[in-house]
Structures are given as C-alpha cells and as structure tokens.
Amino acid sequence: MISAGDFRNGITIELDNNIYQIIEFQHVKPGKGAAFVRTKLKNVISGGVVEKTFRPTEKCPQARIDRKDMQYLYSDGDLYNFMDTETYDQVALNGETVGDALRFVKENEMCKVCSHNGKVFSVEPPLFVELEITDTEPGFKGDTATGATKPAVVETGASVNVPLFVDRGDKIKIDTRTGEYLSRV
C-alpha cells in the first residue's frame, strides 16, 4: 500500500479494478480546508488519462508491473511473436496489444514486454534504434536557409522526417518514443 502523500511520477497503482500509472502529481495546500493531492493517471491497459484527487492519507495498493526482455521474432498476420531468450518460451501477441510500438523495430531485436499478474498489456521498444533508409527523394543544396527536412521510409516501412543531406542507403538513429531522426550512423 502506498499513501497519496508518497505519490511520485511513474508509480503504478491499482484503483477501481484498473491499473494506473501516475503521469503528474501535485500536492495542494489551500488557505482554507484540508490539503489534497491532484493527480493525472494513465490507464496502462486502455491508455486513457484520468484526473483524480486524493486526500494525502488515502492509501492505494501498488501494482506490480513485470517488464521482461524478449526478442521480437516475426509477425504473422495480426500476431506478433516474441521469445524469452532465457527459457526459449514463445509468446504471440495480437496487434491491439502491440499497437504501433514495433514500427521502428526489426526482427530479432530485443523489446520489453510488460505484464500484470501474467496478463500482457503492452510492448516497449528500445529507446533508440539504427535503421537504414530504403526510400527518399534526393535533397538539393540551397533549397532552404536552415533546418529543412524531407520524408524518408526506413527498412521497417515506417516514415520519418530526415534532413536534406540524408540519402537512400544511409543508416540513421531514431528515437522510438517520438519517431524523430537523431543522427546518421
């Protein structure tokens, strides 16, 4: 059990038969009345965001989220297959569970599979990936003054904006959280 006075960003709690992660919290002490904790909670299964206030002495059970490193093997229609590299157990997850987490992930790369009480609810890709550009239009010198970008397709089929000097066949580094180009490799 964790009291509302001890809330921090990133903590997961069980509330109303759901699992929530604390995105934001704020301790409020008004001039009149009792203090309270204002929070923004994200439902880790559905992805919905809820705002809720707590008294500082209220207690919630802390949810235990298991994050296991698994290797992404391949996709088969709507199923995405992962393997535990220690026990070699394989798990097939549907597209609804995976979402767009794998748009920058190649086959045989490691991901974190998140579960609660044995039920998998999401997949976390690595923070940064290195991918090769498969298709982009050539950029021309002198097109703009600064910071111009053009669309490019990487080897996983995802589209990303890259600077004009990046060409087909270049390897680039991408932040998977935002889908932004970081640098050439």
What CATH number corresponds to the domain at position 25? Answer: 2.30.30.30
Q: How many domains does the chain have?
A: 3
Same domain? For 8 and 51 the reply is yes
Q: Which of 74, 97, 124 is the last residue of a domain?
A: 124
Same domain? For 52 and 95 the reply is no
What's the pLDDT at 51? 93
pLDDT beyond 90 at 185: no
Same domain? For 105 and 77 the reply is yes
Q: How far is CA 183 from the centre of its chain?
A: 20
Secondary structure letter of residue 62 according to DSSP: B
Q: Nearest 5°: phi and psi at 127?
A: -65, -40
pLDDT beyond 60 at 143: no
Tell me what the mean pLDDT of segment 128-150 comes to.
78
Same domain? For 109 and 132 the reply is no
Confidence band, pLDDT 50/70/90 cuts, at residue 120 = confident
Q: Nearest Cα to 69, choosing from 109, 127, 110? A: 110
100 burial type by CB count under 10 A (0-12 exposed, 13-18 middle, 19+ buried): exposed
Q: Indicate the pTM of the whole model.
A: 0.70
The answer to whether the Cα torsion of 93, 47, 5, 54 is positive or negative is negative
HSE value, Cβ hemisphere, 13 Å, CA-based, for 155: 13
Using CA atoms, how far apart are residues 168 and 30, in angstroms rounded to an integer?
59
Using CA atoms, how far apart are residues 99 and 124, in angstroms rounded to an integer?
10
Same domain? For 149 and 176 the reply is yes
Same domain? For 112 and 144 the reply is no
Confidence band, pLDDT 50/70/90 cuts, at residue 144 = low
Structural domain of residue 164, as residue ranges?
A: 128-184
Using CA atoms, how far apart are residues 60 and 2, in angstroms rounded to an integer?
5
CB 128 within 8 A of CB 105: no
What is the DSSP track for 18-34?
EEEEEEEEEEE--SSS-
